[in-house]
Amino acid sequence: MQTSIDDPVNLEILWERCISIVDEAAHTLVRAAFSTVARESNDFGCALCDSDGTGIGYTTRGTPRMGIILPRTIRAILERIPPQTLQPGDVLFTNDPWFGSGHLPDFYVTMPIFRGDKLVGFAGACSHVADVGGSTVPDARQVYEEGICFPPVKLFRAGEPDAMLFSILQKNVRVSDQVIGDLNALVASCRTSASELVRLMDETGIDDWRPLSRALNARTEAVFRRAIEKIPDGIYTSTVEADGFKSAVTLQCAIKVAGSEIEIDCTGTSPQVSPGGINVVYNFTHSAFIYALKCILDPHTPYNEGITRPIKVFAPEGCILNAQFPAPVFARNQTAHYIPTLTMDAMAKAIPERVMAACGSPTNRTVFAGTHGHDGRPFSFMMISSGGMGACDGKDGYSCTPYPSNSGSPPVEVIESVVPLTIRKKALRTDSGGAGEFRGGLGIELVVENSSGHTITGSSRMDRVTHPPRGLSGGGDADTAGIWLDGDKPFPPKGRGEVGAGQFLSIHSPGGGGFGPSQKRDAGKIKRDLAEGLISAEAATRQYGQTTA
Amino acid sequence: MSADNEIVLGVDIGGTFTDFALLKRATGELYIGKQLTTPDDPGRAFLEGVDELCARAGVSHAQLSRISHATTLVTNAIIERKGCATGLLMTAGFRDVLVMGRESRYDHYDFRFERPEPIVPRSLTREVVERMAWNGAVLQALDEDSVRQAVRELAAQGVASIAVCLLHAYRNPAHEQAIRTLMAREFPQIDCTISSEVAPELREYERASTTVLNAYVRPDVKNYLSHLDAALAAKNFGKHVHVMLSNGGISSTAIAQEIPIQLIESGPAAGALAAARYAELLGIEHALAFDMGGTTAKLCCIENGRPFHANIFETARAQRFRRGSGLPVLIPVIELIEIGAGGGSIAHIDALGLLKVGPQSAGAAPGPACYGRGGTAPTVTDADLVLGYIDPARFLGGDMTLDRKAAEGAIERAVGVPLAKTTVDAAWGIFAVVNEAMVAAGKRYAAERALDIRKFTLITFGGAAPIHAWRVAKILGIGRIVYPLGAGATSAVGLCIAEPVINLSRSYVGPLDALDWSRVATLFAEMETRATAMLQDAGAQPRDITIDRSVDIRYKGQGYEIEVPVSGIDLSSSDDADLLKQVTARFEEAYARQFGRALNISATEAITWRVRAAGAKPPFNLSPQVAAAKQPLAQTGRRRVYFGPEHGHVDCPVLNRYQLKPGEQGVGPALLEERETTVVVGPAARWAIDAWRNLLVDL
């Protein structure tokens, strides 16, 4: 019996089934993935599309932007490798930054799903892999220096792997076991989606998913349009300055709200830079704006592409938010993580009660590399120090919590068990959160000692050293980030330096911005912050005008 | 008295009811009792119920071999924040471990997401000067004056209990033990919990969280259990009450008083354990226990009579069904999948115009619309009533009459009209959507564990599960459903038939090819000596004790450890290469079982070493009924029941479950009514009553 898609009960059940299938595919990916990136950092996505490449289901796990981008990437791949050239068992692959999520380590795999001879949909999966060759510091002048790039290719033909592609990949990356393991995990994940979708079709008698995706996308679009309609019409602008690579960069946007539509124009944004892989491809810029708007307007409805339809994003070609080939893009989050702040600062002018002040992001990352003292084995470890979240109307920001990224640091005990580093301190920094009626979250101080017995290197990717996370609606700015050697000696925040045996790096992550004027903060909350040591007595006086006995 | 002649009593205190079961092993007679829970003093219902059941079974308190207890005391104290004022001591530099947590957001989009407040605020956390290295070496000796100073300050702030969690204490507990000794000597009025005793495992946040939760509830649990013991002693029951731990094992009160956090899931564990013993009794290799109550449903996988377990649990979730929104607890637990949908779950139309059920629940008050207690929102129970599965006149054995008109009205208003459906179609929609939630949870779980769920047999408990199981099983592709008799007090029955079990663990991290195997052997020996002593304390005979060893291993670089059984490997062997080979082979076998194939990589790391020690399983012989099968069916009537669009309305026979004798059988559709629920047998399914009066249904 054919299940009718017009029925809201069936629609709900089928959508839930599709999401459940993609979650199964995500489990397959996470379980089979080899590097830690997919599992530990959740840096992956899975989606199921109809035969046109329109998304019907997204995994509830992983990173949102990966899910947002996947169907776009699948459709872009299909423009290169048309559907009519595909046969059962084919698998397509690319890590081209301009097809996927903007840097080479993100691998995208898609597989056409056939039921008999009929193409009925596409399974997609993507993940950040451990290595792609190239330089490991974001100082490249061009993307060529950042590693190997595969344009859309057929990785499998009729179920047979292309041995040449695998051997080229194997020769060009450092930890090839892990990278090839992850690539195979992506393929396995697509196979799970494909076989389960066919099973669902057998069970329900559905032979075409396009009516389902049309119905779901139309409903989601309608909900999103209603949310946009509640925003007063107008043009809302914002400008955010970031540290940049060699010099500061400016991001700018004008968000035009008209009826149920939003147009974002990034004219005025700084041009792409070189050297410095902090450039963002359009796909990634687009998904970051969509993500920010969904956070603000409709965080609870499950994501699907209907949301993107009322939104247009324009960024001039060649600006740092629409970087053109062959711009270096490796560390594009250094810029892209500002996009939610840019969006919220603009929307604050229309709906301040719905947005959040700037977060202590982009996330600081410092890669320590050297050799173990006792046996000379090499090690490399990426230390993450999360900042504070911004405050919003009615709520203080969480301390030491990443946003928009969602990958924090592994436990101190795990780090010390695997690499010759001793964490001397990991503590909240008093007064680092922006003051306000609602206080920003606190950043942290991390003190990392080199206990390998050798000199090692530290390569840092740190922003917000000169540009603090700003407060909103009268809220105060948060404290900035910083990095020092042995307590007070300068250390490069964007680059590489040496850390001698027994020396230590002090890393400060930024706090989050405050929301609303600090004079309006509830006296009980100020008292509690003081008792908890989140603000000092001096700050209570200076920022909140409290006299403390 | 030999185990075969024991008389055992189980008491399960739940939110609404306290359930009792008394089992006379010699004859297999089982008595079931129920009292309303007395939240102001849970012991009152406990004692009254024991009196009542003993009287009914004709035994004196002194004749009872054992009383086993499951309680929500611990979980309620945590959720309602009613534990004692608790302080925390951490290594200098790490005061903020509880505040930082896992440095992640469980909700990707909602930046206003809620988190539970840490149990111990920053202002009651003090740092002590000391430092251990990852390998247990002392980097900095313990400064006892810093401890005195910290404890003095906390005492001045009024704490009754202190948790101690020092970095790498799982590897070298010397400093934590020294602090405990110091406190016992100088601050005897303050209770002390050390992390190396509660959860000696790697990962400071999870360990600290577990330690503070234990410290938070320990004084009250000690108090509660000693009061119970005293009250029962006054009635000539001269033994300690035993408790059900979250691992499904019965334990002595001593453990409950030391590590009460292990009681956190005692009720649900008892239910799952009961299902496991039923699976064993019936020879079911792969079982899926399905329990659906008022607000939630639970699934639990059971293989070869043993429920799946996990070594971490999450409590006090800010959003009950969101993983990551709660506080982690590193304890061995029976692994249950909780789904936010039960009989009281409310059906509504969401912003997209789609039909959703739950997680909001009408609870017991106002309850489903059909209860007639002021509830106006349509619930799953209302849908079940409208579809004909429940008899409005015989709900709870007729103690409560349901209002079918109210149910129809609620469904029509909130679902039928907005979706332009007839009331029956809308009710079927609610039924289908809630079933789908069970199916999705089951499928996701099976995917995570690489299980083929179609091979499983569904074992069904709880008020609502027997109504929904036929459909859930069908969609999952499950072929057989078992409905044990007397499913209303499953957890209490589980308490009568559980064996004592102790799980212990210690982290010792290192690459497998560079481990000190003599240290591993010593770790196991220490854990096994301690576990054996604890089991004997709970009444186990040394000759009955069986021990399983396992270790969490991962490929170097992977974040997932998998638990690998290593029983039977002789660790006293001095042939390191051979040990490496044997353990690696076990790891690869376990890995391949879960992931399809092992990887061609030699770098592996061991993380945590585990021991599970169990006493003898008590016999479980419910008295078999041997009455002749050739009696007429206990049919009590017929009812019009809706079985979905493919079957429509069917004139369905209604049978009294209690009158069905072993050997009786039939073909669905049929309704088999019990006091607390109705078993719905779907069209064309074959049903039969087995020798223990369980109902078996083949789809």
Chosen for mutation from A177, A296, A412, A447 (greatest number of chain B CBs closer than 10 Å) is A412
Q: Is residue B302 part of a domain?
A: no
SS3 A185: helix
Do B71 and B91 reside in the same domain of the chain? no
Q: Give the β-pairing of A378-385 and A456-461.
A: unpaired
Count of the separate structural domains present in chain A: 3
CB-nearest to B355 from A12, A19, A28 is A12
Helices (H) and strands (E) in chain A — how many of each?
Answer: 12, 20
Contact by Cβ (8 Å): A368, A501: no
> Would you say residue B234 lies in a domain?
yes
Query: Are residues A344 and A456 both part of a single domain?
Result: no
Residues in Cβ contact with B574 at an 8 Å cutoff, skipping those fewer than 6 apart: none
Residue A3 lies in a domain: no
- CB contact residues (below 8 A), chain A span 350-409, against chain B: 356, 384, 386, 389, 392, 394-395, 398-403, 406-409
- Residues B197, B258: one domain? no
Tell whether A407 and A348 lie within a shared domain: no
Cα–Cα distance measured from residue B287 to residue B699, given in angstroms and rounded to the nearest whole number: 16
Query: Cα dihedral sign for B589, B592, B597, B602?
Result: negative
Whether residues B63 and B86 fall in one domain: no
**Sign of CA pseudo-dihedral A194, A200, A203, A206:** negative
Which range has the worst mean pLDDT, A205-209, A515-519, B403-407, B442-446? B442-446
Do the Cβ atoms of B355 and A533 come within 8 Å? no
Beta strands in A79-199 (DSSP E): 91-94, 106-115, 118-128, 153-157, 160-161
- B137 occurs within a structural domain: yes
Distance from CA of A397 to the nearest CA of B (A): 9
Domain boundary among B172, B189, B215: B215
Contact call for residues B99 and B273 (beta carbons, < 8 A)? no
Q: What is the pLDDT of residue B25?
A: 87
**Secondary structure (3-state) at B380:** helix
Q: Is residue A221 part of a domain?
A: no
Strands B309-310 and B191-194: unpaired
The residue-averaged pLDDT of A533-540 equals 96
- The pLDDT of residue B367 is 87
Q: How far apart are CA A45 and CA A25, in angstroms?
A: 10
pLDDT of residue A174: 85
Helix (H, G, I), strand (E, B) or coil at A206: coil
Q: What is the pairing mode between strands B649-656 and B635-642?
A: antiparallel
**B111 and B35: one domain?**
no
Give me the CATH number covering residue B57.
Answer: 3.30.420.40
Instruction: Confirm whether B596 is domain-assigned.
Output: yes
Find all residues with CB under 8 Å of B189, minimum gap 6, and list them: B155
Does some domain include residue B334?
no
Q: To 5 degrees, how large is the angle CA A420–CA A425–CA A426?
A: 105
| Inside any domain, residue B528 | yes
- Dihedral sign for Cα A544, A463, A131, A377, please: negative
From the candidates A353, A417, A442, which should be mutated to test the interface with B, based on the most B CB atoms within 10 A?
A: A417
Same domain, A16 and A127: yes
Same domain, B378 and B359: yes
Residues of chain B contacting A1 with CB distance shorter than 8 Å: 646
From A208, A239, A273, give the residue that closes a domain.
A208
Chain B neighbors of A303, CB-CB under 8 A: 109
Cα–Cα dist A304/B194, whole Å: 48
**In this structure, are residues A360 and A478 in contact, taking their beta carbons and an 8 Å threshold?**
yes
What is the average pLDDT score of chain A? 93
Cα(A109)–Cα(B17) distance, rounded to whole angstroms? 53
Residue A160 domain flag? yes
Rounded CA separation A405/B430 (Å): 37
CA distance to partner chain B, nearest, from residue A214 (Å): 13
Residues A347, A366 within the same domain: no
Q: Which domain holds residue B514?
A: 501-614
Final residue before a domain boundary, out of A300, A322, A354: A354
Binary contact (A291, B559; C-beta < 8 A)? no
A127 and A37 within one domain? yes
Q: A426 touching B, CB under 8 A?
A: yes
For residue A222, is it within any domain?
no
- Is B422 found in the same domain as B376? yes
User: In chain A, positions 173-212, which contact chain B (CB-CB < 8 Å)?
Assistant: 175, 177-178, 181, 192
Structure tokens given for A48: 């199921």
Task: Return the HEC string of B173-185.
Answer: CHHHHHHHHHHHH
The whole-number mean pLDDT for each consecutive block of 10 residues of chain B, a chain of 699 residues, reads: 80 84 87 83 92 94 94 90 96 97 91 95 98 96 98 98 98 97 98 96 96 97 92 92 93 87 93 92 95 88 94 89 90 92 92 90 85 93 96 78 95 96 96 94 85 93 90 95 82 90 92 92 95 88 94 81 92 88 93 71 88 90 50 74 94 90 93 87 95 92
Bridge pairing between strands A160-161 and A153-157: antiparallel
Bridge partners of A252, per DSSP, are: A239
Closest Cα to residue A105, out of A419, A329, A338? A329
Is B468 among the domain residues? no
Whether B86 and B188 share a structural domain: yes
Domain end among A174, A208, A242: A208
Residue B229 and residue B202 share a domain:
no
Residue A459 lies in a domain: yes
CATH number at residue A143: 3.30.450
Residue to mutate among A5, A7, A10, A13, with most B CBs inside 10 A, is: A13
Cα separation of B527 and B503, whole Å? 9
Measure A389 CA to nearest chain B CA, in Å.
9
Nearest to B143 by CA among B75, B181, B92: B92
A413–B133 CB contact, under 8 Å: no
pLDDT for the residue B4 = 75
**Same-domain pairing of A302 and A341:** yes
Out of A109-123, A200-214, A373-387, B490-504, give the one with best mean pLDDT: A109-123
Amino acid identity at A127: S
Contacts of A508 (CB under 8 A, 6+ apart): A385, A429, A432, A443, A444, A445, A446, A479, A480, A481, A482, A483
Domain annotation covers residue A218: no
b/e map of B547-560 (b: 16 or more CB within 10 Å)? bebbbbbbbebbbb
- Which B residues in the span 70-129 are in contact with A, Cβ-Cβ below 8 Å? 93-97, 99-100, 102-105, 107-112, 115, 121-123
| pLDDT, position A21 | 93
Q: Do B94 and A223 touch (CB under 8 A)?
A: no
User: Do B66 and B178 share a domain, yes or no?
Assistant: no
Sign of CA dihedral A271, A273, A278, A282: positive
How high is the pLDDT of residue A41? 67
Q: Which residues are A485's β-sheet partners?
A: A489, A505
Same domain, B179 and B209: yes
Contacts of residue B581, defined as CB under 8 A and 6 or more positions apart, other chains included, come to none
Task: Give me the helices (H) in B545-652, please.
Answer: 576-595
Which residues of chain B make contact with A356, given a CB cutoff of 8 A?
111
How many structural domains comprise chain B? 4
Residues A316 and A360 in one domain: no
Task: Verify that A454 and A511 share a domain, yes or no.
Answer: yes
A213 located within any domain: no
- pTM score, whole prediction: 0.93
Structure token pair of residue B156: 């001045």
What pLDDT, on a 0 to 100 scale, did the predictor assign at position B634? 66
How far is residue A535 CA from its own chain's centroid?
Answer: 30
Q: Is the pLDDT of residue A335 over 60?
A: yes
The vertex-A97 CA angle with A129 and A110, nearest 5°, equals 65
Same domain, B250 and B164: no
User: Is the model's pLDDT at A1 over the cut of 50?
Assistant: no
User: In the beta sheet, which residues pair with residue A157?
Assistant: A160
Residues A390 and A300 grouped into a single domain: no
| Structural contact between residues A25 and A46, judged by C-beta atoms closer than 8 angstroms | yes
- β-pairing verdict for B125-128 and B86-91: parallel
The model's pLDDT over A47-74, given as tens digits with 9 standing for 90+, comes to 999 999 999 999 988 888 888 899 999 9
| Judgement on whether residues A175 and A252 belong to the same structural domain of the protein | no
Q: Which domain holds residue A477?
A: 356-549
Is residue A406 included in any domain, yes or no? yes
Output the pLDDT for position A546. Answer: 76
Nearest partner of A457 among A367, A327, A538, A517, judged by Cα: A367
B353:A403 CB<8 A: no
Task: Look at residue A407 in the predicted model and tell me its pLDDT.
Answer: 82
| Residues of chain B with C-beta less than 8 angstroms from the C-beta of A411 | 202-206
Q: For residues B296 and B80, what is the distance between their CA atoms, to the nearest angstrom?
A: 19
B169 and B262 both lie in a single domain: no
Angle, CA B143 vertex, CA B137 and CA B149 arms, to 5°: 145
Residues A370 and A303 occupy one common structural domain: no
Rg (CA), chain A: 24
Cβ <8 Å between B202 and A13: no
Strand partners, B564: B551
Residues A127, A65 contacting (CB under 8 angstroms): no
Look up the ipTM and state it.
0.94
Same domain, A507 and A483: yes
Domain endpoint, select from B240, B266, B292: B266
- Give the domain CATH number at B132: 3.40.50
The tokens describing B392, both together, are: 């409005």
And the tokens for B656? 């009294």
